[in-house]
Each structure stands twice: as C-alpha cells, then as structure tokens.
Structure 1
Amino acid sequence: MQFQSTQTYIAPPDLSVAVNAAVTLERPLLVKGEPGTGKTELARQVAQSLGMEMIEWNIKSTTRAQQGLYEYDAVSRLRDSQLGPGLGGERVEDVSNYIRRGKLWQAFEAERRVVLLIDEIDKADIEFPNDLLQELDRMEFHVYETGETIRARHRPVVIITSNNEKELPDAFLRRCFFHYIRFPDPEVMRQIVAVHFPDLKPRLLSEALSQFYEIRETPGLKKKPSTSEVLDWLKLLLAEDLAPEDLKREGANLLPKLHGALLKNEQDVHLFERLAFMARRQGR
C-alpha cells in the first residue's frame, strides 16, 4: 500500500515519500510545518488512502503520557465500595472495571491496523515525548493494577504533528522519521484550490493568489496567512461575487478585501494601515 494524493488532498511528492518511508520503517512520522498547512488533515487522508481506521489523540497543555495508555479511576472504585450488593458494590472486586483505556491502548487492541494521530505534541510538557518512548518503540505497556501486558496486535501507523512551539527531545527525534511540510508554492496552491473550488474563474484565482503571496511576503507581518485561510478567503470572494478588479489594492486601500479571513491580529491590520498612510504621503 502506497500513500499518494487523494481526491480531496494534494500531497507533494516529498510528503508522499515521507509517509511511505515511515510506514516501511515502522517508525512514527513526525510532521512539522506552519499552522494551517494540513498536518492534521494528512493523517485523515493517510487513513483514507490506506483503507484504515484513524484514532485521534489531541494533545493539550495538561495532557499526560499516561492518559494515552490508561487511567485508573480510584475515586469511582472507592465510591462503589460503599454500596451494598445489588447496588453496584460487586463491581469493586474486579479492578478492570475502573480502568479507562487510552488512545494507544485502543490502537494496540484494534483488530486491524490503524492510523494513530498524536496531534500537536509540542503543546504538552517537555517530558511528554520521552514518557512515550518505550511504548512507541516496543509497542507494548504494562497495566500495574491488573498485572497484564498490552501488546499491539498490529503495529499502528503513527503520525505525530508539531507546530514547533517547543523543541522536542533528541531521544524522541531519533526514533521518528521527520518531515517538514513546506508552504505550497503557487503551482501547488492552484492544485489545492482546484480541489475545493473547481469552478473558480482563472482570472479571479490569479489575482487572488497574487495578492495572497504578496501579503505573505510583506515585511513585518506577525502571522502569515495559511492555506486554510486562503481557502476561507476564496470562499468569501465567491460568496460576494467579486471580480478580479474588485480586489485591486492601491493607495489608501492597501488592506485586502474581506481581510478578516487573512489577517488575524490587530498588529498586522495596523501594518497595512501604516503602509497605506505612507503611500498617501508619498503620492502628495
């Protein structure tokens, strides 16, 4: 089985090579890139392309590695121990009733091979990646409360995403196949847009993409608009039935039409307002 572009996802050749290499090596694929470049969507498309179920583990700042394996609910067991027979008290005898299976456990016990997405791993504590090293390496872990060892029936395809919010430990990086998703060039972006808006008129697309890349390259921009944001912007342009001429930016009108889809903080809006002010002064 080989991953390649799907009907709804354009995968550059180097990305397809990275996915297939990680699958062949049976290593986690660590994917980095700007927010909005399709890292999370990649896992969904890999699962679809390879005909696998996907299990998604969304990481937060409070997430602990143990939660991916299992959690023991001691509070519920204590509460049930206070109940009499027939009221739930008999459940206390079997500790497995109080074990909540995590995403890794679900992936390990799946009857068929699955794609396991560990999304935005860099949001968690710095020790989080290291705490998963053994489990991802050996594809097994021990449940101390029950004394059982959980082993993967089928080694899952593990895809890990990171927005580069913090550095990941070297020991963790050594165990991964790494790929950085470069921002799409105009030609690849045209292919991506064609998937979502096949009837978009060429002149409008050319003008919109020209402006989009000009905005991304504006010096001093705090947050460059991403792929997902240009797709939102194009959807709005179509909804407003705007022509290429309506998008022209000049003089005092340097802010793009419907700029709220592209510029996501006041500093960047003020930047374009300052550029417009300077352009007016120079035009006097």
Structure 2
Amino acid sequence: MDRFQGTENYIATDDLKVAVNAAVTLERPLLIKGEPGTGKTVLAYELAEALGAPLITWHIKSTTKAHQGLYEYDAVSRLRDSQLGEERVHDVRNYLKRGKLWEAFTAPQRPVLLIDEIDKADIEFPNDLLQELDRMEFYVHETDETIRAEVRPVVVITSNNEKELPDAFLRRCFFHYIRFPDEETMKAIVEVHYPGLKPRLVAAALKTFYQIRETPGLKKKPSTSELLDWLKLLMVDDVTPETLAERDPKRLIPPLHGALLKNEQDVHLFERLAFLQRREAGRPGG
C-alpha cells in the first residue's frame, strides 16, 4: 500500500503523515484528537480517497450504544409479522439491522471506518468496543454465527477531548493530537481552498484571526473552517486589507465577525475591549 502523503485538498503536517502510516502499518485504530475544526473528520475522507478505499462513517451521538455498531435485532417487527402470518418471519436474518462494524468487516474491499466523535457517547462506549476492534470479529446470537473481518479495515477514531477515554482503549490505539495550524500551515490551507487569493488580504485576515484566537477570556476560539467562511465573506463584500488592518478603536470588532465569534459572551468581550480602547484614546495625551 502507498504511504499517505496528504491530498490536493488536505494539507497534512509531517507528524500527521507519520501517525497515519504508523497506524495503517500496525493495523491499529488511529485515534485523532484536537479542538473542533482542525480537520479530524475530513482526514478520514481524504485518507479513503488517497487509498482508493470505500469510506464507512459512524457518527456518534450521546445516545449511541456500542451494540448498534454491530447489529440490532428488531423483535417487535418480527412479533408483528408473526401475528400477521408473514412468510418472512421464519428467517431471523430479516430482522437484523447491520451496524457499521458489520458493514466494515464484510466489505468486499478494505474500507476506511470512521468512528466520529467517540467522546460524545457514554463513558462505557469505548470499553464495549474493545474486543470487537481488537479481534475484528463479533458473535451474532440470533443466527449463531461469528462475523469476522477477512481484511482489517483502516479505523480512524476522532475525539474532541470532551471526555477522557479509558486506558485499556487508548492502549489499543495509535494516538495523534492535531495541533492548531500555525500561520504558515494556515496559508497553505487557505491557498488550497482559495487559490490565488490576494496575499495582502490573506496576511491581514490571518493577523486578525490569530489575534482573536489569542484574546484572553475568549469562550470559543474560531476554527479553521470558520476562518475559511470569513475569508469567503470578505471576498464577496470586497473588504480591503487596509480595512482589516485599521486600528481605529471604533472598529476593534472585525467586519463580518459573526463568522468568527459564535456566542454573545465573546461579542460582548470585544465590545468591552472596544469601549476601553475608545476611552483610552479619548484621554489627554492618549
């Protein structure tokens, strides 16, 4: 298998490439952590494209249970069908709904299985999947059969670090933390999404963006995806680099800030800072 080098649409740092290739070589799940918007989920999509592999995605919610990834047995439908005298009632397989792990284990081609935002689920969820991910097999009681992966899928697991994951689970994974992109990496990401965008506008936007992220007391730091949304709006509204670079105290909050600041506390924080700067500027000798 060729080594993962990133794709045209995905800028992968050297340490991320090493992590992906190590996990694939070891045939261990790749556990990717990082703050929201750092490209954890997109990595699985791009990895599948780079490998020419099908992608099977299991988005985890707070109500998701581990057994749903294996299969679910619909006993209620079977009972109803038996009361109606349906012929299909004689084959229990008609009432088994295959989960994403079953789908991945029996895929005709080695797939990439994305278990997205595992930390959203109950704390027992990762432990409940330990054996299945380790052995790449599980038992179906209703049909008395074992579903086994002939070829181990490439497993990518993402976490936003909302909950600590159990040690036993971590031991079975290859771990990588995606750091928030530095300015040079972010320029490359912007170039992928908006080729040929004016360098002065990009430089001014990035300067403002990182200043916002570094503001003390900010509740939610803007992410890469929010920067890209903001840049798109700046282009549509033809905002100039000079406007972004202005240090006018009345304009401390950047134009179209709704793309970057996503809650009222952060907007109020910037409004207070603007007020304080205006007051400083209005003092004699200020």
Normalised-by-shorter TM-score class = over 0.9
Alignment-mate amino acid for residue 192 of structure 1: I
User: 1:253 maps to which residue?
Assistant: 251
The answer to whether residue 78 in structure 2 is matched with residue 92 in structure 1 is: no
Deviation at 1:90? 1.3
The answer to whether residue 264 in structure 2 is matched with residue 263 in structure 1 is: no
The answer to whether residue 105 in structure 2 is matched with residue 104 in structure 1 is: no
- Structure 1 CA distance, aligned partners of 2:70 and 2:125? 13
User: 1:168 maps to which residue?
Assistant: 165
User: 2:21 maps to which residue?
Assistant: 20
Q: SS of the counterpart of 1:55?
A: strand
User: 1:72 maps to which residue?
Assistant: 73
TM-score normalised by length of structure 2:
0.97
User: 2:176 maps to which residue?
Assistant: 179
- Structure 2 CA distance, aligned partners of 1:245 and 1:190? 19
Q: Percentage identity across aligned positions?
A: 75
Deviation at 1:246? 1.9
User: 2:236 maps to which residue?
Assistant: 239
Deviations 1:66-90 (A, max 9, x none): 0000000001000000113xxxx11
In the alignment of these two chains, the number of paired residues is: 280
User: 1:222 maps to which residue?
Assistant: 219
Residues 6 and 47, structure 2, Cα contact 8 Å, conserved in 1:
no
Q: 100, 103, 115: which one pairs with 2:112?
A: 115
Deviation at 1:249? 4.2
Alignment-mate amino acid for residue 266 of structure 1: E
The answer to whether residue 155 in structure 2 is matched with residue 154 in structure 1 is: no
User: 1:31 maps to which residue?
Assistant: 32
- Structure 1 CA distance, aligned partners of 2:140 and 2:248? 65
Deviations 1:191-236 (A, max 9, x none): 0000000121011111000111111111111111000000000000
Deviation at 1:115? 0.1
The answer to whether residue 141 in structure 2 is matched with residue 144 in structure 1 is: yes
- Structure 2 CA distance, aligned partners of 1:107 and 1:174? 22
Deviation at 1:279? 0.6
Q: SS of the counterpart of 2:97?
A: strand
Deviation at 1:250? 2.7
Q: Which runs of 5+ in 2 are unaligned?
A: none
Q: SS of the counterpart of 1:82?
A: helix
Runs ≥4 in structure 1, deviation > 4 angstroms? none
